Chain A
Amino acid sequence: MDYAANIAMTLPELVLALGAIALMLVSAWGGEKSTRAVSIAAVFVLVGAGIALVGPASSGGYAFDGLYRADAFGAFAKVLIYIASAVAIVMAPSFFARTHGDDLRPEYPVLILLSACGMGIMVSATDMLTLYVGLELQSLAAYVLASFMRRDGRSAEAGLKYFVLGALASGILLYGISLVYGFSGTTLFSGISDAYAGTKSLGLLFGLVFVFAGLAFKISAVPFHMWTPDVYEGAPTPVTAFFASAPKVAALALSVRVAVDAMGPATDQWRQIVIFAALASIILGAVAAIGQTNIKRLLAYSSINNVGFALIGLAAGTPEGVSGVLMYLTIYVAMTLGSFLIVLQMRGDDGQPVETIDSLAGMSRTRPALAAALAIFMFSLAGIPPLFGFYAKFAVFSAAVDAGLFPLAVVGIAASVIGAYYYLRVVKTMYFDDPAPAFAPMESKVEGGLIAVAAVFVSPAGYLLIPVLGAWTMAAARALF
């Protein structure tokens, strides 16, 4: 394998890394006035990385002697990651324009690019160390993003909490990796897989448990979810939207690859962990959300809840299940970004952001189109047909039933009814209650357009995309088996 082929396979990451470094230099010399130009350039870098996925980067196979794998699975996850990252960059300016003292600085798009680069490495990693490097690159950028509003106490708190708990998670993950390495003698997924297929050993089992615990932190699955509501609430809204979408996709895709590729022979062992995490996330995410009054905290619990559903697909441990996870993530990203774009529109007369659910009261009369869009996202998150969120649940539950996991499917779907309650509460506030003061009008046409696109995607019209998306997710899933 010559070097040029290796580089061709990692082209998207190279585009992102070089783009990020170049833009960092621009921002270092250009200062704050270069923010707009850097943001636009960053979006183009993401588009470029997406284009770079065509070719060997999505089908080349192993690169760098098995440290990295360019396959359809990684490519699919990267497309989602790049889209979510681009949206996070696009939605930032109008938010920061209204904060006191904390303007948007050109570091914001650069950090997102670095994070996206890390996520790309995560989803393509086929070696524990590649995985760790990618994860840390993503996380370190994310810690800074969480506390991007330097003068805001909540933002600083969010960044610190995220950092401390993220570091703890990384420690647990590293400990697990070291155990796995110690008992299998390799960090390559293929070698680890062989070790799990061989004689059973307690060390390998412990390694598996710690690796999954570390990954559960990253995807904010119960019982390692406690940082999520605080970080989501404190971080600036565009950053929260980013956290709820791209890193979630990356961490879940990474977990899927580790589970299937590295620990495939130990499926029966990790399945128990995944089932527990799935059900606990679904139930806790649903129950804890009921009492929330802040829309960002509500969406944080909603993301915990949704991770639980996505994990149901992983628990199946079949190509259908993995395809279901990817389908779930695709639809989830659209619903989440759409919801956060609407949260971004929640601004009082003075232009300051408001975050209480009560402030949505009567929005169907003051801002009917926005209310309809949020209602679509909420019903879709609740998984009510004919919205597309139903198909997300369809895909994962179908895989679970095919794999014979009936108790998981029944308990999971019954718990989804609890979740429906708080989504309904948002709809109720918007449609049934008397109007609260209207929000300030929307200023950005781009944001309106993005909301419309997301709303149409999760509307029944999205069902027409199922054959295409289904084929892609299935091709991506097959790459792992």
Chain B
Amino acid sequence: MTGFPILSVLIAVPMIAAIACLFVSANTARMLALAATLIDFVLGIMLWMNYDIGGAQWQFVEHAPGIFGPFGWSLGIDGFALMLIMLSVFLMPICIGASWRSITTRVPEYMAAFLFTEVLMIGTFAAQDLFLFYVFFEAGLIPMYLIIGIWGGANRIYASYKFFLYTLLGSVLMFIAMLYMAKTAGTTSIPALMNYEFPAHVQTWLWLAFFASFAVKMPMWPVHTWLPDAHVQAPTAGSVILAGVLLKLGGYGFLRFLLPMFPEASGQLTWLIFGLSAVAVIYTSLVALVQSDMKKLIAYSSVAHMAIVTIGLFAFNRQGIEGAMIMMLSHGLVSGALFLCVGVIYDQLHTREISRYGGLAINMPKYAILFLFFTMASIGLPGTSGFVAEFLSLMGTYQVSTWTALLCTTGIILGAAYMLYLYRRVVFGEIKSDDVRGMVDLSAREFWLLAPIAAVVLWMGVYPESFLAPMRKDVSVLLARVDRAKPANDSNPTAGRPAAIVHSAAHGEAH
């Protein structure tokens, strides 16, 4: 594969297809979008196959410095980026498939917006230049704004504004911090900056500026309020991509910028992350419990799950970081699948009110089984990806802060409560009305959208090693970098404990 600019091609394929989509009819646009996303998926698989596990930290590197003046076209991936790119290219064809019938107006523009989103997501994960990253990161607002605003629900305009302005406000502060970093370090290369030592007092300011951006994107409590609005109003595929990939940009940012670039500040401000995350887990889980709108419920559950990601990342140990990464992948798949499940019944009844449904198990058995599977994965049932994710993250956190681990573990219980409650109200019980009785089970298209996700969720739950292996070396590099700033922990009082850590790491791998 040497010499073949696979990352640029990954970005170029949907880009070209997006532009082409604008000039063709609705059906051609659908086919074109599906073809482009499938090509990207195949390219993604090639990327994974050719990724040298344990090899160089940055692979598939492409450099064209200076073609944009102060910054250049510079791409390259490590294990983290590889996994998140895989998630993006995997979900994209599913999103196109999910919109096949439900989107009937302005189809070419819709497909173009989705393909642009794919371009920007892959670009964000692959960018190795600070400003190239920012451009991709920020540009994602435009297609998402249009997707929510044009094809969204009744209150879409409010939601689209809120989404756009909230995330923009977070990001612009990061931009100023980036300008400062580029000037101080004299480079815009992300790998170089990841090893640059900023003075400790500067780190805190830079950390806060980046935090403002990624916390909104993540989203962390209390800046999460745009998410439920955006999710509820977005079309199904928009929600999938929002929950599946765009939220991961926040976690990726923490991993790529905050921890390695500002280790001291990260260590000092761990309390902030833990505090906000613990509140998020409990508060948003409780809020999810009382929702009457299915999408809103899943949106709040996303906030809770993302909080597990942040505590894992800031645990400063292998289990925590690996758990956080698996959580991002798992949540991307599971919440995406849950939104698809909501979409399936929304397309038939055009309501997301939980109380309008009930007894779907009777006339939609296939749907009930898949929905159950994803519900269990969201709860974190052993055997699904959710279990691996939550277990590793919380185990990592426990080694640093027993209190945070305790508080966040309640999220699993509450998560089980709201998900099972949702499932009971929608799927079990008696059919209450005629229109629900008239609903039909999954079509072949819908089944084949959900089945691959279910397979991957199961794969990740049973044999997470496939997903952990590419990231293992990167986790080691990151840990070597942040180890000196590791916050004091409160759970290892005796000298004999390190053996337990070794054991638990091996345990994590065995899953």
- List residues of A whose CB falls within 8 A of some B CB: 364-365, 379, 384-386, 390, 394, 397-398, 401-402, 406, 409-410, 413-414, 416-417, 420-421, 424, 427-428, 431-432, 463-464, 466-467, 469-470
Q: With the chains together, A414 CA to B145 CA distance in Å?
A: 20
From the candidates B70, B150, B164, name the one contacting A420 in the complex (CB within 8 A): B164
Q: Which residues of B contact A410 (CB under 8 A)?
A: 173, 176
B324 CB to nearest chain A CB (Å): 28
Q: Which residues of A contact B269 (CB under 8 A)?
A: none
Pair A401/B67 contact, Cβ less than 8 Å: no
From the candidates A384, A432, A464, name the one contacting B150 in the complex (CB within 8 A): A432
Give the residue name and chain of the A residue nearest to B174 (CB).
A413
Q: With the chains together, A385 CA to B135 CA distance in Å?
A: 5
Pair A413/B157 contact, Cβ less than 8 Å: no
From the candidates B70, B135, B179, name the one contacting A390 in the complex (CB within 8 A): B135
Give the residue name and chain of the A residue nearest to B15 (CB).
A460
Q: Which residues of B contact A431 (CB under 8 A)?
A: 146, 149-150
Q: Which residues of B contact A390 (CB under 8 A)?
A: 135, 138
- B131 on the A face (CB < 8 A): yes
Interchain pairs with CB closer than 8 A, number: 88
Pair A428/B157 contact, Cβ less than 8 Å: yes
Q: Which residues of B contact A401 (CB under 8 A)?
A: 176, 179-180, 183
Pair A432/B157 contact, Cβ less than 8 Å: yes
Pair A398/B139 contact, Cβ less than 8 Å: no
| CB within 8 Å for A424 and B164 given contacts A385-B134, A464-B68 | yes
Chain B, interface SS category = helix
| CB within 8 Å for A397 and B176 given contacts A428-B157, A432-B149 | yes
Q: With the chains together, A149 CA to B146 CA distance in Å?
A: 39
Q: Which residues of A contact B135 (CB under 8 A)?
A: 385-386, 390
- B286 on the A face (CB < 8 A): no
| CB within 8 Å for A463 and B68 given contacts A386-B139, A424-B164, A432-B157 | yes
- B156 on the A face (CB < 8 A): yes
B322 CB to nearest chain A CB (Å): 32
A-B pairs with lowest CB-CB distance, top 5:
A466-B69, A385-B135, A401-B179, A413-B172, A470-B69
Pair A420/B165 contact, Cβ less than 8 Å: yes
Q: With the chains together, A421 CA to B163 CA distance in Å?
A: 12
Q: Which residues of A contact B141 (CB under 8 A)?
A: 384
Pair B173/A414 contact, Cβ less than 8 Å: yes
Q: Which residues of B contact A397 (CB under 8 A)?
A: 175-176, 179
Q: With the chains together, A420 CA to B141 CA distance in Å?
A: 12
B201 CB to nearest chain A CB (Å): 13
Pair B179/A384 contact, Cβ less than 8 Å: no
B48 CB to nearest chain A CB (Å): 27
A67 CB to nearest chain B CB (Å): 35
Q: Which residues of A contact B182 (CB under 8 A)?
A: 398
- B142 on the A face (CB < 8 A): yes
From the candidates B67, B145, B180, name the one contacting A424 in the complex (CB within 8 A): B145
Pair A385/B139 contact, Cβ less than 8 Å: yes
Pair A432/B138 contact, Cβ less than 8 Å: no
Q: Which residues of A contact B271 (CB under 8 A)?
A: none
Pair A420/B168 contact, Cβ less than 8 Å: yes
| CB within 8 Å for A417 and B69 given contacts A385-B135, A386-B135, A390-B135 | no
Pair B172/A428 contact, Cβ less than 8 Å: no
- B66 on the A face (CB < 8 A): yes
Return the CB mask of B153-185 against A: 1 if under 8 Å, else 0.
000110011001100110011011001101100
A275 CB to nearest chain B CB (Å): 15
Q: With the chains together, A37 CA to B109 CA distance in Å?
A: 43
Return the CB mask of B98-110 against A: 1 if under 8 Å, else 0.
0000000010010
Within B76-128, the residues touching A (CB, 8 Å) are 106, 109
B269 CB to nearest chain A CB (Å): 19
Pair B70/A414 contact, Cβ less than 8 Å: no
Pair A379/B180 contact, Cβ less than 8 Å: no
Q: Which residues of B contact A413 (CB under 8 A)?
A: 172-173, 175-176
Pair A409/B145 contact, Cβ less than 8 Å: no
Q: Which residues of A contact B67 (CB under 8 A)?
A: 464, 467
Within B196-241, the residues touching A (CB, 8 Å) are none
Give the residue name and chain of the B residue nearest to A462 (CB).
B68
Q: With the chains together, A174 CA to B316 CA distance in Å?
A: 65
A456 CB to nearest chain B CB (Å): 12
Q: Which residues of B contact A420 (CB under 8 A)?
A: 164-165, 168
B206 CB to nearest chain A CB (Å): 11
Pair A384/B149 contact, Cβ less than 8 Å: no
Q: Which residues of A contact B168 (CB under 8 A)?
A: 384, 417, 420
Pair B138/A384 contact, Cβ less than 8 Å: yes
Q: With the chains together, A385 CA to B138 CA distance in Å?
A: 6
22 contacts between A and B (CB under 8 A): A384-B141, A384-B142, A385-B135, A385-B138, A386-B135, A390-B135, A394-B131, A394-B179, A401-B176, A401-B180, A416-B172, A420-B165, A424-B145, A424-B164, A424-B165, A431-B149, A432-B160, A466-B68, A467-B69, A469-B69, A470-B69, A470-B70
Q: With the chains together, A406 CA to B209 CA distance in Å?
A: 12
| CB within 8 Å for A428 and B160 given contacts A385-B138, A417-B168, A421-B165 | yes
Q: With the chains together, A417 CA to B171 CA distance in Å?
A: 10
Pair A409/B157 contact, Cβ less than 8 Å: no
Q: Which residues of B contact A409 (CB under 8 A)?
A: 176, 179
Give the residue name and chain of the B residue nearest to A409 (CB).
B176
Q: With the chains together, A381 CA to B437 CA distance in Å?
A: 52
Q: With the chains together, A420 CA to B142 CA distance in Å?
A: 12
A329 CB to nearest chain B CB (Å): 17
A142 CB to nearest chain B CB (Å): 34
A433 CB to nearest chain B CB (Å): 9
Pair B157/A398 contact, Cβ less than 8 Å: no
Q: With the chains together, A413 CA to B161 CA distance in Å?
A: 18
With most chain A CB atoms within 10 A of its CB, the pick from B136, B145, B160, B175 is B175
Q: Which residues of B contact A464 (CB under 8 A)?
A: 67-68
Give the residue name and chain of the B residue nearest to A369 (CB).
B22
Q: With the chains together, A398 CA to B169 CA distance in Å?
A: 18
Q: With the chains together, A287 CA to B484 CA distance in Å?
A: 47
